[in-house]
Amino acid sequence: MNAEELRSRVRDLLTAHHPATTDRLEFLRARFDAGLAWVHYPADLGGRDVPRELQSVVDDELAAAGAPDNNPYRIAIGLGMAAPTILRFGTPEQRKRFLRPLWTGEEVWCQLFSEPGAGSDLAALGTRAVRDGDDWVVTGQKVWTSAAHIARFAILVARTDPDVPKHRGMTYFICDMTGPGVDVRPLRQLTGEAEFNEVFLSGVRIPDSYRLGEVGEGWKVAQTTLMNERVAIGGHALPREGGLVGIVAGTWREHPELRTPELRDRLLRLWVDAEAMRLAATRLRQQLASGQPGPEGSAMKLAFARLQQALSGLEVELAGEDGLRYDDWTLRRPEKVDMLGRGPGYRYLRAKGNSIEGGTSEVLRNIIAERVLGLPSEPRTDKDVAWKDLPR
């Protein structure tokens, strides 16, 4: 199927379900069923089995017609992390059950990975899942969980075998966030809001039919999620001067009285960095069209974090005394991060988390060193030690 055939499919969809007279959710469901949701997915799962780069053909046609989108920022974890994992490792029944309401936004997803004692070293996690007939009983604590307070489902990694080394004793599940034993508590952040949560799992029962991948292969499945997460964070499609660099450049133009040679040089260097990263992200998305994301996504996420923090710091300086103001300390429970819709003070504080979320910058440097540059691995004394015997 080529671009013109896709346009024809879009016209058929708009004829049968015109956005002006069709309910938003009904339109999104019809779009999914027409194979125009994510065009690179299989034909019976919202796609057309065509290259990923043709997605823009569909999106542009629908945007021109005033069609609603699926609020991608609100359901980013489902779209960017859960869906690719379900597509690759899910059973046919799981794909049919979860992908459609995930894409339409009817069911929001979150990610139950990090724990108080297993953040940078995810494989050290201690949340236990014990088999009980056709179910698994899960007990433990997760932390830094975005969107847990609005999520219907979660992707969850738990330890199912403590007697083997840590990377080999984990299993990957889909967890019903509305089920008994799931307790979500807000975590107030430096910004004043509670975007993240801690989640306590107390005897939560998960049917074995909600397991993704084989028992004990949770680390393998999780790698698909993590690689897609890093691309989702650092590989956005942006126009020139899109995102934070555009705001900072605008501040520079509006305040000539604050300009100094030193600030000018910093802005120019960061503008060039932003443009290089934008072009690299375009190249990365082109590579994704032919397969699964690789370790290159780690480089994009690392660069994104560094750039965001440097730009937000420069913006505060360019804003002068206004850079010391903070627009709202009210405790919020946002459904998504609104970096561009808030003030410089908020952006400066929120950007500090960019080098932690989605994999710390220190861990990403190791991944780049070992898997991209081919450098020797760091010594790992716990590689062949059973998880239960590791010091904690």
In the three-class reduction of DSSP (H, G, I as helix; E, B as strand; rest coil), residue 4 is classed as helix
Q: How far is CA 166 from the centre of its chain?
A: 24
Q: Which residues on neighbouring strands pair with residue 109, listed in sequence order?
A: 153
Q: Which residue has the tokens 């691309």?
A: 231
- Tell me if 251 sits within 8 A of 288, measured CB to CB: no
Q: How far apart are CA 10 and CA 4, in angstroms?
A: 10
In the three-class reduction of DSSP (H, G, I as helix; E, B as strand; rest coil), residue 255 is classed as coil
- The helix (H) or strand (E) run that includes residue 138 is strand 135-142
Q: How far apart are CA 108 and CA 120, in angstroms?
A: 25
- Tell me if 365 sits within 8 A of 302, measured CB to CB: yes
Pick the catalytic residue from 107, 195, 198, 229: 229
- Closest CA relative to residue 349, chosen from 320, 309, 315, 301: 309
- Kindly state the tokens that stand for 67: 């069609």
- Kindly state the tokens that stand for 309: 């923090």
Q: Which residues on neighbouring strands pair with residue 129, listed in sequence order?
A: 138
Q: Is 257 a catalytic residue?
A: no
Q: Could you tell me the sign of the dihedral formed by the alpha carbons of 101, 103, 106, 111, in that order?
A: positive
- Closest CA relative to residue 135, chosen from 171, 82, 85: 171
Q: How far is CA 164 from the centre of its chain?
A: 30
Q: Which residue has the tokens 């953040």?
A: 119
Q: Could you tell me the sign of the dihedral formed by the alpha carbons of 314, 318, 323, 328, in that order?
A: negative
Q: How far apart are CA 150 and CA 40, in angstroms?
A: 28
| Residues acting as catalytic residues | 229
